[in-house]
Amino acid sequence: MTCPDNSTIAPAANWFERLRTTPNYRLTALIVASAMFMEQVDATVLATALPTMARDYHAPVVNLSSAITAYLLALAIFIPVSGRLVDRLGARTVFRGAVLIFMGSSVLCAFAPTIGWLTAARFLQGMGGAIMVPVGRLVLLRVAPKDQLVTATAWLITPVLIGPIIGPPLGGLIVTHLDWRWIFYLNLPMGALGVTLISLFIDNGRSGERHPLDFIGFLLSAVSLGCLLFGFESVSRAGEGLKAGLLISAGLAIALFYVAHARRVTHPVLDLTLLRDQSFRLSMMAGSLTRITQGAQTFLTPLLFQVGLGMNAAASGALILSIAVGAMLAKTITTQTLRRFGFRNSMIVNGLATSALYATCGLFRADWPTPVIIIVLGLSGFFMSMQFSAYNSIAFETIEPQRLSTASSFYFTFQQVLLSLGVCMGAIALHGGMIVGRHAEPRPLDFTVAFAIVCGITVTAVFVHRAFPANAGAALTRPRVAPERGATAQ
């Protein structure tokens, strides 16, 4: 047997050591995107499997809604504190721990003998997801150079866009051909790979500042966000209008108490002073308006195809995948587009294009050629992906490094709330059309009106885009200067 040549082993070992110790934003973006994809799919995949699970548990399907609401409750409670955990324990420790919690709770979900057990396990899973996603984004913000932040952020937009789209059809395939428990088993290999890569390549950086937890603010934000998320979810269910109204009203009232509280404490759990930063504030405003359409389309598009146009779930899911393909293609030119035309001009054009394309989706009818539908959906995902890459990059352009953890938690909290509000707005618009038309099942015209309403809200973001300075985001798209000959690239 021939022994390996040390001259061959040494360069390979040195290469791996350089890869492990040198901040690599592309690798970091891929690791974070994988974790976000796992969380986004898992948040939506369960809905399709509920009838099958109800039969196994010998219970009404409505009893399983607690498994979904428990996940939402955990998101509302733990997203705001994710940044503080990083400041205290370090990014690698918290990120890896969140993935491990997500994996462990997936096992508990798969083996849950009762609905109560399943609900508790889903709460733990939501806790892992609530910490995993904003911390993953924070890790990327810290390692990516300013001029490469757009490219890195583009990797994070894709799982956010395609996860809720892939989740329902994936759940349908699993319950049709496998046991529903495979929904949770699939998290294990991806999670194990994530833990390994996080341990090897993610730095355990901290902000250097450790502040006491704002416990009162934590309770107020948790109750407020929980009420709002449950209220928005209830709007889409028949006969729960009063419940939704009470929950949303309570959530808004408690939010006002939180605002008053946050003004009196030095380090609130959700720091409202971040809104003094112009880029962060405008990105929050424009992104909130645009997420109305993003959230609504995940609710309206499958219903349009299956209820309005009479397609089966498989055909509907295949068409909707066009949005995911468009979102992935957008990554290839996002940085170049923003560099060539600037953030403000690009966001204005993308905002108009996104609103027009998703409004066109409401015009789909059974006699539309399939290639035309695929092109419209693909372009919708393309422009939406590019738009959110711009928002999620420029929001942090001028945020101080020591405030990145707080800013990431703040930004992701409102992102989650606005996506849920989008579902709410889509459901209200659709039900309104049914009431006016006096029919029990939604018809194609009802979807046309619903898409037009939510896209009409989103198009107003153009006025916010115009408020950005002409040179906004210049530092994020400035071409990198090649190192001089003989210099070491960092």
Q: Calculate the dihedral angle through the C-alpha atoms of 453, 455, 459, 464, rounding to the nearest 10 degrees.
A: 90
Cβ 343 vs Cβ 472: under 8 Å: yes
C-alpha span between 326 and 358 (Å, rounded): 13
* Backbone Cα Rg of the chain: 23
pLDDT tens per residue, the chain (490 residues)? 555 555 455 554 554 455 444 456 667 777 777 777 777 777 666 666 666 777 788 776 556 666 776 777 787 778 777 777 777 777 788 888 888 998 898 899 888 888 888 888 888 888 888 888 777 777 777 776 666 666 666 666 666 666 666 666 676 677 667 777 887 888 888 888 888 888 887 777 655 566 667 788 888 888 888 888 778 777 666 677 788 888 889 989 998 998 898 888 877 878 888 888 888 899 989 988 998 888 888 778 877 887 778 877 667 777 877 887 888 788 778 888 888 888 899 999 999 999 999 999 989 998 899 899 999 999 998 998 889 888 888 888 888 877 777 787 788 777 777 877 787 788 788 877 777 877 777 788 888 999 999 999 999 999 999 999 888 777 766 655 444 444 433 3
Per-residue CA distances from 59 to 78, 110, 184, 257, 395 (Å): 30, 17, 20, 40, 46
**pLDDT tens figures, 1-13:** 555 555 455 554 5
- The model carries a pTM of 0.73
| 302, containing H or E segment | helix 278-303
Q: How far, in Å, CA of 362 to CA of 452, rounded?
A: 7
